[in-house]
């Protein structure tokens, strides 16, 4: 259980989740309008990695359908906790975190989309294990646009070089790109998201793939991401933590 649920109680927390969701959707609508985009083209994904099953159910009641986890073990725990619960109808999960090849089997078939394909080796592992089970897994290629050492994923140049190989893997469908921006630096975030969009456009032209999913934007920078073309924002603290101040 999170601090917020403990502090506010179930009823108070449910009210917070609904009010916060409305504020988030308002920010998304404003940012989309500034960019001449349709807010309906932006998916809001509730990152539930720091909260429990009860919070996920309350958030679903507040209007979220799409959730994301960053660890396979926690994904399994959530799915097990939700299984057979009628209130969980309509909930789907994405995988957004570092994925080791030996954990791939815990993830495929259990998620709508894997955002975090950070190497050709991982792409191949997901593809092989999906194929073996007769599945095609939708994936995004995690791209280190900002070039920060601490970030995982393909550099833009690596991705330019690897795309042809990634496209040969049966068992995965390349849907688009994902990135994370440097923290606490709005202008760097803007450049990063803009760079992701331009890279996707370039690869789209070259490959003929639609690559129409751009997963970028988190609690601190999602309005900037929407302005720069994000189609999937991944929100953790701002969605679930009542002590996180939404400006």
Ligand X SMILES: *Cc1c(COP(=O)(O)O)cnc(C)c1O
Residues 59 and 91: beta-carbon distance below 8 Å:
no
Residues 163 and 207: beta-carbon distance below 8 Å:
yes
Query: Shortest Cβ distance from residue 37 to ligand X (Å)?
Result: 21
3-state SS, residue 112: coil
The verdict on 17 binding ligand X (CB under 6 A) reads: no
Residue 190 vs 237, nearer CB to ligand X: 237
Contact with ligand X (CB under 6 A) among 32, 82, 91, 97: 97
If we measure between CA atoms, which residue out of 189, 109, 113, 101 comes closest to residue 145? 189
Residues forming a β-bridge with 232: 43, 215
The verdict on 71 binding ligand X (CB under 6 A) reads: no
Contact with ligand X (CB under 6 A) among 70, 118, 130, 137: 70
The verdict on 47 binding ligand X (CB under 6 A) reads: yes
Of residues 206-225, which lie at the interface with ligand X (CB under 6 A)? 218-220
Residue 187: other Cβ atoms inside 10 A: 9
Query: Shortest Cβ distance from residue 233 to ligand X (Å)?
Result: 9
Contact with ligand X (CB under 6 A) among 71, 138, 237, 242: 237
Residue 231: other Cβ atoms inside 10 A: 20
Which residue has the CB atom at the shortest distance from ligand X?
236
Window of 16-24, 73-81, 160-168, 234-242 that interacts with ligand X by CB under 6 A: 234-242
Two tokens, residue 4: 């917020």
Residues 65 and 43: beta-carbon distance below 8 Å:
no
67: left (phi over 0), alpha (psi -120 to 50) or beta: beta
Of residues 129-188, which lie at the interface with ligand X (CB under 6 A)? none
Residue 69 vs 227, nearer CB to ligand X: 69
Instruction: Point out which residues bind ligand X (CB under 6 A).
Output: 47, 49, 70, 96-97, 218-220, 234-238
């Amino acid at each position: 259980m999170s601090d917020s649920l403990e502090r506010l109680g179930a009823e108070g927390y449910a009210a917070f989740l609904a009010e916060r969701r409305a504020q988030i959707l308002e920010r998304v609508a404003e940012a989309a309008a500034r960019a001449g985009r349709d807010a309906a083209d932006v998916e809001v994904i509730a990152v539930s990695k720091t909260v429990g099953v009860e919070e996920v159910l309350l958030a679903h009641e507040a209007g979220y359908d799409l959730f994301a986890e960053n660890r396979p073990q926690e994904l399994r725990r959530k799915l097990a906790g939700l299984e057979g619960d009628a209130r969980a109808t309509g909930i789907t999960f994405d995988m957004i975190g570092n994925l080791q090849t030996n954990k791939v089997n815990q993830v495929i078939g259990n998620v709508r989309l894997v955002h975090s394909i950070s190497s050709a080796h991982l792409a191949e592992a997901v593809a092989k294990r999906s194929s073996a089970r007769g599945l095609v897994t939708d994936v995004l290629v995690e791209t280190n646009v900002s070039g920060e050492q601490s970030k995982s994923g393909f550099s833009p140049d690596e991705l330019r070089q690897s795309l042809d190989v990634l496209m040969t893997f049966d068992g995965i469908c390349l849907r688009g790109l994902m990135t994370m921006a440097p923290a606490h630096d709005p202008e760097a975030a803007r450049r990063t998201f803009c760079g992701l969009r331009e890279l996707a456009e370039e690869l789209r032209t070259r490959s003929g793939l639609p690559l129409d999913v751009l997963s970028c934007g988190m609690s601190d920078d999602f309005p900037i991401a929407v302005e720069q073309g994000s189609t999937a924002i991944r929100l953790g603290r701002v969605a679930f933590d009542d002590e996180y101040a939404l400006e």
